């Protein structure tokens, strides 16, 4: 059970994330997730975005070698895959593009976790990514949840 604790924490954090930034009329989808990145961009610190972004760079571009298999397993659309691949392979990328890329990858982790059957004995393979994702989501919630220009009240 200890090995999947980060996945259990993610499930709770993601619920809180969706509740905080989206509502019954404005459901979470990729375009709205990217709008959220834009709304929150100036409230975020480069250091915190850089930490998880750097993790994803290392995960998908280990020692400058693109891991096509691991990246393809995210199941991003072609357009979003190209955007993330370009962002992850780049050196001078804006914080906004980093946050968009982070959100796109986290959203795919979410979809891949919540949809379809999973063999419980393999979930421990995702301990590290979910630990990193949880740190970012906690930071994002702490930093932006009270801001009515960013949270779900931005739709009113």
Segment 76-101, tens digit of pLDDT: 999 999 999 999 988 778 999 999 99
Query: Which pair of tokens denotes residue 93?
Result: 């990328």
- pLDDT at res. 2: 67
Q: How many CB atoms lie within 10 A of CB 122?
A: 8
- pLDDT at res. 1: 61
- 19-70 confidence digits (pLDDT tens): 999 998 888 999 999 999 999 999 998 888 999 999 999 999 877 788 888 8
Domain with 32 in it:
2-155
- Say yes or no to pLDDT of 155 above 90: no
| Cα separation, 29 vs 18, whole angstroms | 10
- pLDDT at res. 30: 96
- pLDDT at res. 123: 79
Query: In the chain, what percentage of residues exceed pLDDT 90?
Result: 65
Domain count, the chain: 1
Q: What is the mean pLDDT of residues 115-121?
A: 76
- Put simply, whether the predicted model's pTM sits higher than 0.85 gets the answer yes
Query: Which pair of tokens denotes residue 72?
Result: 């393809």
- Say yes or no to pLDDT of 118 above 70: yes
- pLDDT at res. 91: 73
| Cα separation, 95 vs 47, whole angstroms | 10
- pLDDT at res. 146: 93
CB burial class (10 A; 0-12, 13-18, 19+) of residue 36?
A: buried
């Amino acid at each position: 059970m200890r090995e999947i604790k980060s996945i259990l924490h993610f499930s709770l954090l993601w619920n809180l994330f969706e509740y905080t930034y989206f509502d019954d009329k404005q459901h979470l989808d990729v375009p709205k997730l990217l709008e959220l990145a834009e709304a929150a961009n100036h409230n975020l610190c480069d250091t915190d975005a850089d930490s998880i972004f750097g993790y994803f760079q290392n995960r998908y571009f280990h020692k400058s070698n693109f891991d096509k298999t691991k990246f393809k397993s995210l199941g991003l659309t072609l357009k979003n895959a190209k955007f993330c691949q370009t962002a992850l392979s780049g050196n001078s990328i804006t914080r906004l593009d980093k946050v968009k890329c982070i959100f796109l990858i986290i959203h795919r982790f979410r979809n891949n976790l919540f949809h379809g059957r999973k063999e419980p004995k393999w979930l421990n393979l995702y301990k590290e990514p979910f630990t990193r994702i949880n740190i970012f989501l906690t930071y994002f919630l702490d930093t932006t949840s009270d801001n009515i220009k960013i949270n779900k009240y931005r739709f009113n």
